[in-house]
Structure 1
Amino acid sequence: MNVLKTWKKVTASIMLSIMTLGSGLTVLETPQASAAANAVPAYEVKFLAKPEAVLNADGKPNSDVLQTLGLDSSPRAIGVEYFDTDSLGLDEQGWNVRFRKKEDKNNYELTYKKRYPIINGDVEAALTLANQEGFDASDDNYEAEIDWGYGKQTLSFSNTKKVDAITSGAQLPSDSKALEMLLDKLPGKLKNWSASNWGKQQLSASRAYGPITFERYEGTWNGQEMTLEVWPILNEAGTGVENIVEVSFKTDDASTVSGLRAQLMQLLENENWLLPGDGLKTQLILERY
């Protein structure tokens, strides 16, 4: 009798061990889900330049600027306008919707952009927040970029779509036609940003801010594609326009961007062309139009 009890105990113990081992093997064989990595951004370095120092009376860059920055003397005209509600509901959530036409292209560019401020230079924190909100390395629809200005950095994710143009040059279509196209191509992230159809409702209630036709001068500086843009934006009083001049270059190389930025800043300072401070053209347009 005692032998039978002992055998039952041993058998139960063995079975328990097998079940435990099996359970352990089952856990080991189950793949662990891993979160997508943070996006890897490109960089655009931007500085404002003093209009009175770099432009001639006709609003064109002077010959010294063109030569020093390696820019072509013939610019490309680009028509642009932004869409938002009267209360700037999209901008309040960090979204900008842009409609653009380059004079030498036969299509319109529709860009939906989400911005994240970079606090105290902590790029990784901004990328992580963006990741948590759906912008990660696996999303091929959005281009991650860091705008690095005089004193601040901004992370952005842009989704650009192209539509065949019905106008020529840098001319934009009617506001209603442009809005119709923007709604038709509205990406899902913006459409359902904070609630189902939130973005569609915001954009449907939007109006145009602009239009503005600016000139872009392109060239090569220090091995980088250099750009100088002259934006004639309505002045604060609304009585005329003021030229906003921006000098910029783009790079995918995070290891060299800091050094190149320092070189460009030093060059602009040495020539007395640099306008110290940051300015976001988009914000000026949304405020003044």
Structure 2
Amino acid sequence: MTQPAVQRTDANRTGPNRIDTTRPHPARVYDWFLGGKDNYPVDEELGRQITSIDTGALRAARANRRFMQRATRRLAREAGIRQFLDIGTGIPTEPNLHQIAQSVAPDARVVYVDNDPIVLAHAEALLRGTPEGVTEYLQADARDPRSILEQARHILDFDRPIALSLIALLHFVADEDGAYELVEALVDTLAPGSCLVLSAMTADFEPENVQRGIAAYAAGGVTLVARSQAEMGGFFEGLEVMEPGIVSVADWHPELSATGERLDGDGPVSLYGAVGLKP
């Protein structure tokens, strides 16, 4: 595919430092959950507060990360998908999506999208892909699909299948803020054979723990939305949900882990995950 030059937004063009380290930030708290080092004491404080009242939060975050890795591996290996669009990327934590995809298919094309200055500051780590493939980072707001698609079209071929990843993103977008419309606008542009990979928080399994976690985030200035399995199903309207359906991320093909072992402990975690195929 012939493509025009793309203006890549990366870490060495961030301009003035706009990162506020006096308030906890969801991406940095998540990084702390995953055992990362790109967080500050205020993030660790909130993370420890959340894990003290929501005992499954840390396991859920790690299970969610492994769900992304397994889904990416399966789509690259078994479905033959060679293009990936990851929106709401978050702070890089290895192995990242492009590392999984390009380990299976070195020529895979991966586009990361985020508008957070914290992620932007670490974007350079997301651009170290294979020489055969393409790995790009775009700065855009997840709530602005038109801008995302306009930029991504310079890199991805929307006439061919794309795996759209919305991992742990939509619980930050309320229904009244257009969560379902956002997903619909993105999926509508995808070619047949494309897939939606989605995970989001639920209170179906551990309602008391999750509500306490939501309250802790709210005290830190972050609003979260927990959705039921039926509400999650609304994101997959018109898609064929692959087996095993909409399940706890820990229960989505654990046999596809890199080691072939289940690493997420016993029982479900409070995030649903699923992969839908566009007919």
TM-score range, shorter chain: under 0.3
Structure number with the higher strand fraction is 1
Which structure is higher in helix share? 2
Quick one: higher RCO (CA 8 Å, sep 6+), 1 or 2?
Answer: 1
- Bigger-Rg structure (1/2): 1
TM-score, with normalisation over the residues of structure 1?
0.22
Q: Normalised by the size of structure 2, how large is the TM-score?
A: 0.23
